[in-house]
Amino acid sequence: MTYQQSRLPPNGVPIVAEGTCPEARPRGDEVECVRLDEEALPKGERMKNPYGWRLSETGRKYAPDILKVGDTVIITQDAGKVVEDEIYAVRRPDGLIVLSRVQIKGEVLLLMTADGAVTAGLHAQGDDPESLVVGKVVIIIRPWRCAVLTPQAKR
């Protein structure tokens, strides 16, 4: 039985600390999670060991045109082949995982902006550069913004 099956409700996706995978989360009896309806998934998308983050300013650093602070992103660990303009979870050499568009040039995985500028280049230490990709963002959940209205004071 996997971690997800033993700890989460059906269709539950664990919310873990930004910059980590579920394996890095301490095992406890309760797990914060998002429950997904299969209708929410993009057509043809497979989900293998999905997990989520709630984004801070750091989490949106490499894709601020798409990601916003407070978004919950759902990441699948089955990223498939790298596709231009998709947002991927990529493990940096220091172990931190960041979200970015990526491109592979030789043995280097490039972190890219929407306009194609390179923000960083990561070496895979003799492995395939795609080995640095640990997942793909498949869903972005933007929280509703609302105002709390209070009745006017009686005169």
Per-residue pLDDT tens over the stretch 108-141:
888 888 888 888 888 877 678 888 899 999 888 8
Q: Which one, of 55, 50, 62, lies nearest residue 87 by Cα?
A: 62
Name the phi and psi angles at 59, rounded to 5: -65, -25
Q: What is the DSSP letter of 136?
A: E
| Of 23-37, 67-81, 103-117, minimum mean pLDDT range | 23-37
Map out the domains of the chain with their CATH numbers: 3-141 (2.10.109.10)
Alpha helices in the chain (DSSP H): 3-7
